[in-house]
Structure 1
């Protein structure tokens, strides 16, 4: 039977009191000992632990605190009790520890440095991942029997067909916004007819493909990251490696191919929907008939604008798919990582798409495709 901790108070011949503890000084058996010690008002000269059968860290801290507050001497402590009391005396919680102060500038520079290191590390890993995808694609070209056609068709449906509704609505509204804002500004100079130029060139050359890429990044890129990330957590990818299946060939290449093929088609569809939205507003607000709108559109929109969009679209599709798959492959540990990497996939894809769009704009301007 384990005896609860207790103490008795006795008077010393030369004055003062002695506390004689007994029983099991452990956290489970201390009970109201702490409150009783706090209630003591007489001075304590000694603390006798001769009758203590067992003591743990909590009990040692209780004895040490009482002895320190009253200035008492601890006597008759057995070896384990003396060792624990000495240990807890080295971590006196009553002593304040000055926090380490760091200047705001040092903290700011540290955050910038850490961000730069993370960005360059991620870029290097992403380039390595792109190399793995290129290698897997070359192997599939040499061994077409290993290619998973049904997976590509399935992702055609997810990337393209199921995105038609949201991309069509978004592009239609963007076309209306471009036409409305252009008409308001050009009306000041009596040049409302040039709204057609604005709608046609801006839609085919830039916004049709760019907004489609952003929508696909948020919709399909995030889905790729979440799917592959979940497979990493459930160890399905490790199981694929165990049976001799290369994850890049089975999971990444079909998604990349589906995105590369569907992006130009979605870009054309988005551009047409934006043209319809812009033409509808020109018909209602500027009273430009649809036939006149189409004729004027063909006159002022060069084919180079269309081809620029078609060149950018597959590149954007490949970047979006690889960013999503790359972040999915980075998932490790727990399900929280899936959400974090899915967010990172969307941010990374959109950032790379915008950077590449700026590069293409400068490049095509330099070669004379203005």
Structure 2
């Protein structure tokens, strides 16, 4: 008999279900056809598989039969084998024991203790991160003081390069952003103030909002997205390629060569970018006030000079070096945390941007509370 012939199967209906009588060899050659015929059978009632007339039976056909039985039993149907020879029974038992059994871990309810543990982990991670940043701050200040004592070690060329990349490269996007923010503030403010006949106070709204808060805050957020990611990518790539280890082998201090020029460039250029944002924001607000409210540029400037306290400008500019220090420290710290693969580099780059923006916003909130307490 040809083993590659399709398996013969007779179907009989009994009082309790189906009786499938298999005949002929059941081997790997026709296991697929056997599985197809078994799957075609109706899935209601008990099933009896009669193997009395089966000659050869190998593991492939046994796997098909055992899998069929398991599927039906999981659906709540009874499947029995009859007419088994001793060798067939042993083979079916061996295949059944060899099938992998799915393991499901018991689901434990999420308790209040688990919630406290999660909160504790988050707090511990935040404290650890803050301590690491403080360590980087101390390292930066120590290396900066060293370069002041030994000017020959200062990387002036690197400082100029990073200042150009961080400051000059960000001027277009910062100027456009601030201009549009001024336009939006003037438009929205005029819509609300017109209801009370107080359109002229839109100048005060624009001036205080931009000079005190929005100008430097939004500038810092843009710089955080551009610079924190670039610092992390550059330093992380150097660490991946073991360039930092090579620098140490050459007797060069990575903190002096990599951290000090980058962070110092941010501290120098961010206040300048803040001034650019202030000017462009006032320009956009003045233009929209002229178009929408008819406030002439001369009247806008007069109201701006007479009604705006210089403290608003000072408060905005005082924040800039602190924001720059935060962004630079987070970017350099994230770069040093990169491991030796590209996945780690991408994860730390995105993490640096998120952390830098979050830290800048938290610092701005702290500044607002501080200046409110001292009456500024």
Aligned pair count?
303
1:243 and 2:250 are equivalent in the alignment: yes
1:99 and 2:140 are equivalent in the alignment: no
1:288 and 2:329 are equivalent in the alignment: no
Aligned equivalent of 2:161: 154
Write out aligned runs for 1:103-122 (5 A).
103-105=109-111, 108-122=115-129
Write out aligned runs for 1:306-325 (5 A).
306-325=313-332
Structure 1: how far apart are the matches of 2:91 and 2:226? 61
Structure 2: how far apart are the matches of 1:34 and 1:68? 9
1:45 and 2:86 are equivalent in the alignment: yes
Aligned equivalent of 2:142: 135
Aligned equivalent of 2:200: 193
Write out aligned runs for 1:158-307 (5 A).
158-307=165-314
So what's the TM-score if we normalise by structure 1?
0.76
Structure 2: how far apart are the matches of 1:245 and 1:326? 18
Q: CA deviation at 1:366?
A: 2.0
1:353 and 2:360 are equivalent in the alignment: yes
Q: Once the two structures are superposed, what CA deviation does each residue of 1:256-303 show, in whole Å capped at 9, x if it has no partner?
A: 110000011100010000000000000000001101101110011111
Q: CA deviation at 1:231?
A: 0.8
Q: Gaps (5+ residues) in structure 2? A: 1-56, 66-81
1:336 and 2:361 are equivalent in the alignment: no
For the residue of structure 2 that corresponds to 1:103, the secondary structure is coil
The RMSD of aligned alpha carbons is 2.4
Q: CA deviation at 1:238?
A: 1.0
For the residue of structure 2 that corresponds to 1:104, the secondary structure is coil
Structure 2: how far apart are the matches of 1:104 and 1:291? 65
Residue 63 of structure 2 contacts residue 95 of structure 2 at CA under 8 Å; is this kept in 1? Answer: no
Q: CA deviation at 1:147?
A: 0.6
Residue 239 of structure 2 contacts residue 340 of structure 2 at CA under 8 Å; is this kept in 1? Answer: no
Structure 2: how far apart are the matches of 1:65 and 1:350? 65
Residue 62 of structure 2 contacts residue 91 of structure 2 at CA under 8 Å; is this kept in 1? Answer: no
